Amino acid sequence: MADAQATQTARQPGGEFRLGGDLPVHRLGYGAMQITGKGIWGEPSDRDGAIAVLRRAVELGVNFIDTADSYGPFVSEELIREALHPYPENLVIATKGGLLRTGPDEWVPLGKPAYLRQQVETSLRRLGVERIDLYQLHRVDRDYPLADQVGELKSLQDEGKIRHIGLSEVDAGQIEEAGKTAEIVSVQNLFNLATRHHEAVLDYATEHNIGFIPWFPIATGELAKPGSVLEQAAKEHGRSPAQLALAWLLRRSPVMLPIPGTSKVAHLEDNMAAADIELTDEEFEQLSALA
């Protein structure tokens, strides 16, 4: 039985969620931001290592990879194609547009509809696909009506270039507003065990069966200090605090889709092992009370 369970975990880490009700993804995915250079700018210092991480993720059962045209910029999408194209049939690649890069660690929202269309077209070419499974507005640009930004993505969806549409760093009101223009199937906000100011958005997503993709999902920091509840629980499970932080996310909501990122195969394998951790009710409540 143990071998059978291990095989199931490898095939479907974290269980399954259907984006938009029709696009199945394994709930523990991979975020491809860290495979670029310092400051999320330029080529990685170890290109072969980045390729190896992407391929190993798929070997471990990941079928949901999140990236963006701004990672590099463009480098992450190019590496994904180099590593994995032609893609496995069940692999879902989500990408994003709406941020202009002007230098390392510099991000400028740009939601001009013509720019968003350009970014979708170039992402299609870089990824080597005819349709992007999930395209997310990376940031809402206050200089343009949200309806115009989402409306351009809806037009691209109607043209068959986007399958599903998502948003990033929004509140529940913005999700509702965007939903008047197009169906929103995912939201990607900062969320982890230590930082939970988007609880209301998560609750809204859970209620409406919208995939919630927490970026920066591992942030244990002070929570994992010696003698803490997190450290004690990690020792009892024979696991790392980071693994328990991911297990807590998976337990927090059935729509939760963590995408821990890394540029190292060993770190990737450690993260993916979080999928088979089952927290007790008491452990979950203790961890939830930490922040």
Of residues 219 and 139, more confidently modeled: 139
**3 has a pLDDT exceeding 60:** no
**225 has a pLDDT exceeding 90:** no
* Mean pLDDT, range 257-277, rounded to an integer: 95
**226 has a pLDDT exceeding 50:** yes
Residue 290 in any domain: the answer is no
Residue 284 in any domain: the answer is no
pLDDT digits (tens, 9 = 90+) for 117-165: 999 999 999 999 999 999 999 999 999 999 999 999 999 999 999 999 9
Bridge partner list, 214: 189
Strand duo 106-109 + 99-103: pairing: antiparallel
Helix, strand, coil in percent for the chain, rounding step 5: 40, 20, 40
Segments forming the whole domain that contains residue 150? 2-220+253-265
**188 has a pLDDT exceeding 90:** yes
Residue 195 in any domain: the answer is yes
* Amino acid letter for position 17: F
d(CA 195, CA 217): 9
Catalytic residue among 30, 71, 87, 204: 71
* Mean pLDDT, range 179-187, rounded to an integer: 98
Candidates 181, 171, 176, 169; CA nearest to 136 is 169
Residue with tokens 């809402």: 140
Residue 197 in any domain: the answer is yes
Give CA separation, 271 vs 89, 199, 274, in Å.
Answer: 24, 23, 6
d(CA 168, CA 276): 28
Residue 235 in any domain: the answer is no
> Confidence class of residue 12 from pLDDT cuts 50, 70 and 90?
confident
d(CA 256, CA 104): 30
Residue 144 in any domain: the answer is yes
> Confidence class of residue 291 from pLDDT cuts 50, 70 and 90?
low
The H or E element that residue 174 is part of is helix 172-179
**Does 144 qualify as catalytic in the annotation?**
no
Burial 85-122 (b: 16+ CB within 10 A, else e): eebeeebbbbbbbbbbbeeeeeeebbbbbebbbebbee
Residues of the chain above pLDDT 70, percent: 96
Residue 248 in any domain: the answer is no
What count of Cα atoms within 13 Å lies in the side-chain half-sphere of residue 171? Answer: 2
Total H helices, total E strands in the chain: 11, 11
Question: Average pLDDT of the chain?
Answer: 93
Give the per-residue pLDDT at 9. Answer: 40
The CATH code of the domain that includes 33 is 3.20.20.100
* Mean pLDDT, range 197-224, rounded to an integer: 93
Bridge partner list, 273: none
d(CA 235, CA 72): 37
d(CA 49, CA 114): 36
What is the sign of the dihedral through the CA atoms of 275, 279, 285 and 287? negative
Q: Considering its fold, how many domains does the chain have in total?
A: 1
Residue 115 in any domain: the answer is yes
* Mean pLDDT, range 48-72, rounded to an integer: 98
> Confidence class of residue 228 from pLDDT cuts 50, 70 and 90?
confident
